[in-house]
Amino acid sequence: MPLVTLKQLIKNASRDNKAVGAFSVGNMEMILGAIKAAEETNTPIIIQIAEVRLPTSPLAIIGPMMVAAAKNSRVDVCVHLDHGLKFETIKQALESGFSSVMIDGSILDYEENIALTQKVVEEARKYGASVEAELGVVGGNEGDGKSHSIKYTDPAVAVDFCRRTGIDALAVAIGNAHGHYKIQPELRIDVLKDIFDVCDTPLVLHGGTGITPQIFRECIKNGIRKVNIATASFDAVATASRKTAEENGNYFSLSQNMADAVYDNVKNHIEIFNMKSEI
């Protein structure tokens, strides 16, 4: 199947009132596990890597693996740069063949966020790639040790932002956070609904690990078309690695166990996201 854009996948998801799972990867085993789950469920997915992960998973190495896996998949796969922070990184991802990029200027001044996002959209269009951006601030941290407090997305501002930037997807802040939730999050579905009612741009939910299936479906009902899952997959790999070490397994069993752990996690989330929500 061809490597596809985020715009294409979420268009199909919108038609079916579903969400596309966006699964973070950090090595070959995670890529293989995610693709296997997508193929077995016959479900398009997004595989992605955040800029803060690149020191341990260099883009020049993992990027071509992600693109090759997508191109050789039996289902449509989008390859996405998550939380791109620098224009140079965005450009490197596009040159590597990524079909989608996220520019995260959420902590910048509003006009600075718009200007940077416009620049990325202009560049991405040269490659036929999609662009996601963030408005408001999703809480927690992306693994760089820098935590951010949640700043809810303003529906009226979201309309202006999407109109002026021309992005294909908007990551919203409704009480969601990256990493582990210390307690079950209380997402502001009312805020999400208000955004969905006035904004035509497909919406993205970050910080998906730990959210219940019921809340996922409520979010999908109210316009979420892409859901990011990262921490759950990284935790699954760590658990599988510890278990393999305890069993005195070798490298080959370690590699297989890591892929299997990601497969199980991705398949579980695909099944949740594929459940149609009543409108």
Q: Please say if 82 is a catalytic residue.
A: yes
User: Which entry of 82, 104, 168, 194 is annotated as an active-site residue?
Assistant: 82
Asked if 207 and 229 count as a contact pair (C-beta separation under 8 A), the reply is no
**Catalytic residue positions?**
82
